[in-house]
Chain A
Amino acid sequence: MKMQPDITAPGLEILAANSLRASPFYDTAYVKYSVESGTSMSCPHAAGVAAYVKTFHPQWSPSMIKSAIMTTGKEKLP
């Protein structure tokens, strides 16, 4: 049983803060910011959308917020 389909959020070539102690991933430059891809970059976008919805509807449960995000997801971007 998969809890799917669910949702897509941006995750390709995302600029984010980078730890200088972390081993290099795609980007081998040792700087405080790095461009990376994958669910690790996508997940914070999804969490951010959930937090954004919560500011409009503080009483909504997690399942209501997830439903709101899924049912309004776009198949094709403009």
Chain B
Amino acid sequence: MNASQSGYASTEFAYGAGHVDPIAATNPGLVYEITKTDYFAFLCGMNYNKTTVKLISGEAVTCSEKISPRNLNYPSMSAKLSGSNISFIVTFNRTVTNVGTPNSTYKSKVVLNHGSKLNVKVSPSVLSMKSMNEKQSFTVTVSASELHSELPSSANLIWSDGTHNVRSPIVVYTGDFSQPSSS
């Protein structure tokens, strides 16, 4: 599918996690929080040095902690891979904070998008939140033996407690698919 008029493939990099729903957004159940410290570890992990990070942060940063950019606690997950006919495994580390109700149990569900050959594992697959503002961490492992060279492969991770559906797109891709398609 192409986005209207542009000729660019319509993917998660065009429409994102979906269309805003203001009322649903007031009651998400879980949130992915990112602190200032997380951003520092993210920038340092991208090999910005102390001097360049300071230009952004406005304060001294030691870069003692570095994280892979894909492990920034962002509400969606994406990874660019090199080559197309190789098998790969990528992992994403995430932490969710309970802002819904105390004593809630969230079960994970992975829904592959059309044509996707991804294998997605979530560990742990169930999160039990006893109190408000409680944090729980999990790991998403994505693997496949080959990827489409022009289009991203995608899936959705949905954490559900029966009331809230907390959905995150997962996208892995290889080439520069954002160029206008020839068709």
Contact = CB atoms under 8 A, between A and B. Distances in A.
Interface of A: 1-9, 45-46, 48-49, 52-53, 56-57, 60-61, 63-75, 77
A70 B16 contact: yes
A71 B83 CA distance: 30
A2 B32 contact: no
B33 A71 contact: no
26 contacts: A4-B16, A5-B12, A5-B15, A5-B169, A5-B171, A7-B20, A45-B20, A46-B20, A52-B25, A63-B31, A63-B34, A64-B31, A65-B25, A67-B75, A68-B25, A68-B28, A68-B31, A71-B28, A71-B75, A72-B165, A72-B166, A73-B17, A73-B20, A73-B21, A74-B21, A75-B18
B13 A67 contact: no
Closest 3 CB pairs of A and B: A73-B18, A72-B24, A63-B34
A63 B94 CA distance: 14
A22 B58 CA distance: 36
A71 B20 contact: no
A64 B99 contact: yes
Given A67-B32, A70-B18, A72-B28, 10 more contacts: A5-B17, A8-B16, A48-B22, A67-B28, A67-B33, A68-B31, A71-B30, A71-B31, A71-B167, A74-B19
A5 B12 CA distance: 6
Interface of B: 12-13, 15-22, 24-26, 28, 30-35, 46, 69, 73-76, 78, 97, 99, 165-169, 171
A77 B20 contact: no
Contacts of A5: 12-13, 15-17, 76, 78, 169, 171
B76 A70 contact: yes
A72 to B, nearest CB: 4
Contact of A2 (B28, B34, B78): B78
Contact of A53 (B12, B16, B25, B35): B25
